[in-house]
Amino acid sequence: MRRGGRTAAWHGRCFPTVAVPSSLHEILVQLIRDRPALAADFVAARLGEDWRAGKRIELLSGELSQTSAPQHRADAVLLLDRGQGDHRLAVVVEVQLAADAEKLFTWPVYLAGIRAKLRCPAVLVVVTPYRAVRNWASRPISLGPGGDAVRPLVLGPEAIPVVTAVEAAHEDPELALLSAVAHARGPQATPTAVAALVAARSLDEDRAKVYVDPALFTEWLG
């Protein structure tokens, strides 16, 4: 599948956008909502602290407030609680399939809104299966003079495990599907797709309908 020639600018530089079906975004968002530990594990690995094991992971609404505009609603918000008083961390999760200059302004709003709402530190995790978008989203977002910046944690293809064993895919079908999308253009494209499809067959009917979508076949078959 060709990914078109549109570009997005970052501080005067241009980066290619990725033309993908919008339903793929919704599928990946649902993966994170169904299996929030995917994002929590990544945060723990990047921050060097165990925010997950034996602790509570709560999936919250992505709305910053009851009056939030649609463009100011995160794809998912997790609250990680280590059970040590106020030792909590909010994780704003955004699935990104293309470079989008508007996000440089809305992502800081998400973090500030969730931090104010939950009264705890917050981090931004950007999930993308594409290297070009990973490179774009990894850059700090300057908030102005003084050096303050938002630094997204980007869960890109290099950080997503290659799941080819059917047994492993059955144990974690959401990870298997994310792996198949992230590695659909690499040498492990076929085995990751097969493992994900076999795992998807074991899901309940509602989840299978969401995950086994033409958008995924577009990614796998090219």
**Domain-wise residue ranges, the chain:** 1-159, 161-222
Q: Which residue has the higher pLDDT, 10 or 23?
A: 23
Percent above pLDDT 70 for the chain: 78
Q: List residues bridging with 149 in a β-sheet.
A: 142
* 41, 80 contact by CB (below 8 A): no
Read off the pLDDT band of 212 (50, 70, 90). confident
CB atoms inside a 10 Å sphere around CB 196: 27
Whether residue 173 has pLDDT greater than 80: yes
Arithmetic mean of pLDDT, 86-97? 91
The CA distances from residue 64 to 38, 95, 101, 188, in Å, are: 22, 17, 21, 39
Sequence-distant (6+) residues with CB within 8 A of 119 are none
Question: CA–CA separation, 10 vs 102, rounded Å?
Answer: 10
Question: CA–CA separation, 4 vs 71, rounded Å?
Answer: 24
* 3, 20 contact by CB (below 8 A): yes
CA-derived radius of gyration, the chain: 17
* 93, 114 contact by CB (below 8 A): no
The token pair that represents 5 in the structure block: 């020639």
Please write the tens of the pLDDT for every residue from 116-136.
999 999 999 999 999 999 999
Please write the tens of the pLDDT for every residue from 80-91.
987 765 688 999
b vs e for 172-190, b when ≥16 Cβ sit within 10 Å of the residue's Cβ?
bbbbbbbbbbbbbeeebbe
CB atoms inside a 10 Å sphere around CB 2: 6
What CA dihedral angle connects 108, 111, 113 and 117, to 10 degrees? -170
